[in-house]
Amino acid sequence: MTHRHADPTRGAAPTALPELGGFVDDVEVRGHIIDSLILPKILDIITQSGGTFRIKKITIGQARVDPSFALIEVRAETETRLQEILAAIGDHGAVPTDLQDCTLVEADIDGAFPEGFYSTTNQRTEVRRGGHWYEVALQEMDCGVVIDPSTNEARCIAMTEVRRGDQLVCGHAGVRVIPPERSADRHGFEFMNSAVSTEKPKGTAIREIARELVRTRTGGGKTLIVGGPAIVHTGSGEHLCRLIRAGYIDKLFAGNALATHDIEQSLFGTSLGVRLEEGISVEAGHEHHLRSINRIRRLGGIRKAVEQGVLKSGIMYECVRHNVDFLLAGSIRDDGPLPDVITDALVAQQEMRSRIRDVTFCLMIATTLHSVAVGNLLPAWVKVVCVDINPSTVIKLNDRGSFQTVGLVTDVEPFLRALVQDVEELAAERRGT
């Protein structure tokens, strides 16, 4: 990975990468590069010239006349060597992506990109127009980049948002991605810059997350909690409530289940019919969650239930009381759902998109579906911690490309209990000083 300067006047100079040893640049080669052996030849030249390469992307033409396309990262130990290699492979048609303006193609239909569209990452991205580099706004992975040709303003755009006539970036030429710094303090979470593991000591990790919550609150950032119903099932609801009351949580994204079980807990003292204090099922308890939903529906929503004094405790109650911006996104298996739940997935996605813009720290707890959904939307520079008893949730997030996510495999209840304790200790220390 590399960092390149966002110099607005010229293509960025390749920069040294101490941890991988070398200078690096991306080149694009297109055409019948397989049939003509141009691609193997270019790769051979790179190697023979003392460089190394990585094929970052390759698209093979389907029909006989279709061109193929490869995006190759070229690396060499010195800048001089890199420039020699780039010159040598340039003769064979491999062109550094940052020496060209980006290619714009007009969208021919609503709701779909033109073929060959540039597919975004969640990392800071710039596009070149008229020899100048422009930062892409609203960075999000798996989108396209739309440009206003009159102002050169560029932003990410979801497939469904495309309108006929939009000018979309195609290919990799004139696009550069600036990955996050690989400094030791990448996330402020030095302790867990490696992959997810069940073997890591939890204490330090939780302490660091507590520090991040405090830092975010005092630094004017915004913390988003993405939570699953296990927060309630495991009896951790009150821990989360304490964080909300203390002002550490700015937003909550969840589904119908978390809110329903939380409200059931508040109205009936059970979660899915189980009395949490004793861990036993109560008679007709299985109906409690449906009765809870029904009651909230009759009142017209969670906020009204709080205002009318029906809902007097729990996570959702605290959210309303402390102005936490909550968003409930539905799914096909939902009972009810609660009136606050957005049942149109695309509308929910758009709503989430608009509400994550100012988020600086995201804590995902015990939900795969919502974690992946939010992970998809967040730019790479937002710190994300994913806590789940199931390692596959964290792995899934990483596989989806949310590399900024650090994972903690642990049960929710002890995690939240320890987190609240650490946060309160830190707050006490601050008060003490």
Partner 1 sequence: MTQPWIMMCPPDFYGIEYEINPWMSRSRSSDAHAARRQWENLRAALEAAGARISLLDPAPGLPDLVFTANAALIYKQTAVLSHFRHVERQGEEPLDAAWLTANGFEVTRLPEDIFFEGAGDALFCGDTLFAGYRIRSHARGHQLVGESLGVRVIPVELTDDYHYHLDTCFCPLADDTAIYYPGAFDAYGLQVLQSYIRLLIPVEREEARRFACNAVVVGRTVVTNTGCPKLHDDLRRHGFATVETELDEFVKAGGSAKCLTLRLDGEEAAAWKRAAS
The residues binding partner 1 (CB under 8 A) are: 30-32, 35-38, 40-41, 64-65, 67, 91-93, 95
**DSSP 3-state of 176:** strand
Query: Is 41 or 304 the residue whose CB approaches partner 1 more closely?
Result: 41
Q: How far is the CB of 93 from partner 1 (least distance, A)?
A: 3
Q: How far apart are CA 412 and CA 383, in angstroms?
A: 19
Cβ proximity to partner 1: between 35 and 344 the closer is: 35
Q: What is the 3-state secondary structure (H, E, C) of 193-242?
A: CCCCCCCCCHHHHHHHHHHHHHHHHHCCCCEEEEECCHHHHCCCHHHHHH
Minimum CB distance to partner 1 smaller for 28 or for 208: 28
In the block, tokens 């798996």 appear at 142
User: What whole-number distance in Å separates Cα of residue 41 and Cα of residue 368?
Assistant: 44
Nearer of residues 28 and 318 to partner 1, judged by Cβ: 28
> Whole-number minimum distance, CB 172 to partner 1, in Å?
14
- In the complex, what is the shortest distance from the CB of residue 138 to partner 1, in angstroms, rounded to a whole number? 31
CB of 30 to partner 1, least distance (A): 6
Task: Return the number of the residue (32 or 297) whose C-beta is nearest partner 1.
Answer: 32
Closest alpha carbon to 253 in 338, 351, 334, 156: 351
Least Å from the CB of residue 61 to partner 1: 9
What tokens does 322 get? Answer: 């402390």
The radius of gyration of the chain from alpha carbons, rounded to an integer in Å, stands at 25
Residue 45, CB-side half-sphere exposure with 13 Å CA sphere:
22
Closer CB to partner 1, 27 or 232, in the complex: 27
Task: Tell which residue, 27, 426, 431, has the closest CA to residue 212.
Answer: 426
Least distance between partner 1 and beta carbon 41 (Å): 5
Smaller CB separation from partner 1, 44 or 181: 44
Q: Which is nearer to partner 1, 67 or 300 (CB)?
A: 67
CB of 103 to partner 1, least distance (A): 11
Q: Which is nearer to partner 1, 1 or 58 (CB)?
A: 58
67 or 247, CB closer to partner 1? Answer: 67
With contact defined as beta carbons under 8 Å apart, do 394 and 196 qualify? yes
What's the closest the beta carbon of residue 49 comes to partner 1, in angstroms? 15
3-state DSSP assignment of residue 21 = coil
Q: How far is the CB of 114 from partner 1 (least distance, A)?
A: 15
From residue 285, alpha-carbon distances to 192, 235, 289, 368 in Å are 41, 17, 8, 27
CB of 94 to partner 1, least distance (A): 8
**Residue 4 phi, psi dihedral angles, 5° rounding:** -125, 145
What phi and psi, each to the nearest 5 degrees, are found at residue 287? Answer: -85, -15
What does the alpha-carbon distance between residue 118 and residue 102 come to, in Å, rounded to a whole number? 10
Taking the C-alpha atoms of residue 144 and residue 46, their distance in angstroms, rounded to an integer, is: 31
**Which ranges constitute the DSSP H helices of 49-118?**
79-90
